[in-house]
Amino acid sequence: MIHQKEFITASLIVKLGNAVTYYRNMKMEDIGLTSVQSDALIAMLRDPEITASQLKERLNLSQSTVAGIIERLESKGLVSKVTDPDDARKTHLIPTEKGRQLEDKLREIALDIQKALLRGMNADEQAEFSRLLGIALENLNEVRKS
């Protein structure tokens, strides 16, 4: 029989991830994006010539998932694909003007979510929480690559 004490940390992380995704999706509804679509658009806004394979790595998603996200963002007029003039095999994902107009709203939503997530923690606890989450994420990323 599996006892919750055996995997309490993993269980809490899964629940936290689900809660954050739910909250983000709720906030993103007003601008017509899902949580993962906003992550992709934010990555494109930070790196305006990112390729699909770079986006896949940055978001830790499968190629087929990234392809679907790009297709949906493109159909919403938020991103366009531009073939690299020096290498026709590469396609860059460029945020459109409509996509760039969402940058401030995406930042506002991200800050709101972070504020809700960290409420009740002092500055040292927030820093430690972020540090520990970074270690946990790095550990899982290493497992994924092996």
CATH code for the domain of 98: 1.10.10.10
So what's the pLDDT on residue 7? 82
Which domain, by its residues, includes 113?
Answer: 13-145
Indicate the angle between helix axes 63-75 and 35-46, nearest 10 degrees: 80
In a domain, 136, yes or no: yes
Low-confidence ranges of the chain (pLDDT < 70): 1-4
Q: Dihedrals φ, ψ of 116, to 5°? A: -65, -40
At 48 the three-state DSSP class reads coil
Query: Rounded to two decimals, what is the model's pTM?
Result: 0.83
So what's the pLDDT on residue 101? 97
Indicate the angle between helix axes 63-75 and 52-59, nearest 10 degrees: 110
